């Protein structure tokens, strides 16, 4: 149904990201064969930990076939490190090649850096880690104000800012 909806809307591509896994990739690939006009973008959202501080969310999108292998290594590290659902940032940095790294809306470290009014230098440093920045739908006024600052920052630093549906399933 998601493929049909994307085609109906005239989209040229559709993206799928699992949370902390890639288990839907085979099914998505099989279905995509019936939609040669739609480019499929595969990825995953993962929580990561840096210096024991919190667990912000990052989106990892695959650029090419080598990126698939790198994403699998990142996802596999959750099990190897013994921390269910959380990846060490060093693993992401080590396997980042051939992946696009996205700040995941209001669950990202960038969102919280702006929300917590960290220094402009620290906010820029955080933003520059990312290839793009995602904004999720929100009716919360405080979140929207932070998003406004993120859009401004994205323009200033030439980092694409994208609005995503943050859909967890499609159904009627």
- Tokens 């999108």, residue? 61
d(CA 115, CA 40): 33
CB-side exposure of 146: number of CA atoms within 13 Å?
25
pTM for the full model?
Answer: 0.90
d(CA 87, CA 69): 16
pLDDT one-digit tens code per residue, 98-156: 999 999 999 999 999 999 999 999 999 999 999 999 999 999 999 999 999 999 999 99
d(CA 62, CA 41): 7
Predicted confidence at residue 91, as pLDDT, reads 93
Read off the tokens for 48. 């990561």
pLDDT one-digit tens code per residue, 2-25: 899 999 999 999 999 988 888 899
């Amino acid at each position: 149904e998601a493929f049909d909806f994307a085609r109906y809307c005239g989209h040229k591509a559709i993206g799928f990201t699992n949370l902390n896994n890639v288990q839907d990739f085979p099914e998505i690939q099989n279905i995509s064969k019936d939609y040669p006009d739609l480019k499929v973008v595969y990825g995953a959202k993962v929580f990561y930990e840096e210096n024991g501080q919190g667990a912000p969310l990052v989106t990892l999108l695959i650029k090419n076939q080598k990126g698939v292998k790198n994403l699998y290594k990142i996802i596999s590290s959750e099990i190897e490190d013994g921390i269910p659902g959380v990846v060490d940032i060093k693993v992401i940095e080590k396997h980042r090649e051939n992946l696009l790294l996205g700040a995941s809306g209001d669950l990202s470290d960038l969102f919280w850096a702006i929300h917590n009014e960290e220094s402009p230098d620290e906010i820029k440093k955080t933003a520059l880690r990312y290839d793009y920045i995602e904004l999720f739908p929100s009716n919360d006024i405080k979140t929207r104000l932070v998003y406004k600052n993120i859009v401004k920052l994205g323009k200033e630093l030439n980092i694409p800012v994208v609005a995503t549906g943050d859909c967890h399933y499609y159904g009627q």
